[in-house]
Amino acid sequence: MNDRALFILLLAIAFGLWANLLFVQTPLALAQQNRGYTLQSVYTKLVALQNDLNELKIQVDELKNGMTEISAGTCRNPKIC
């Protein structure tokens, strides 16, 4: 790394550190930004996601059973088997 690149890198680091000092956010300001984000809302979204995954698993199992019937030649549709 040449001297100029090192100087630019150190200057960028110094600028970032000064910016952190000048624009520091208080914990209260951070708490106000995350007002609608509670554990209950996370839990609700996770339950909805789990229900969707259960529905997808049922559909995949149905497709798997249908493919097994087709490959075995035991399906009810004579045009496919």
8-state DSSP, 24: P
The domain ranges of the chain are 1-33, 36-81
Q: HSE (CB half, 13 Å, CA atoms) of 19?
A: 6
Q: Say whether pLDDT at 59 is over 90.
A: yes
pLDDT classification of 31: cutoffs 50, 70, 90: low
Q: Which residue has the higher pLDDT, 78 or 68?
A: 68
Kindly report, residue by residue over 2-30, the tens digit of the pLDDT.
788 888 899 999 988 888 777 766 666 66
**DSSP per residue, 54-73:** HHHHHHHHHHHHHHHHHHHT
Q: Say whether pLDDT at 78 is over 80.
A: no
Tokens of 38: 């509670």
How far apart are the C-alpha atoms of 65 and 59, rounded to whole Å? 10
How far apart are the C-alpha atoms of 81 and 78, rounded to whole Å? 5
Q: What is the pTM of this model?
A: 0.45
How far apart are the C-alpha atoms of 40 and 36, rounded to whole Å? 10
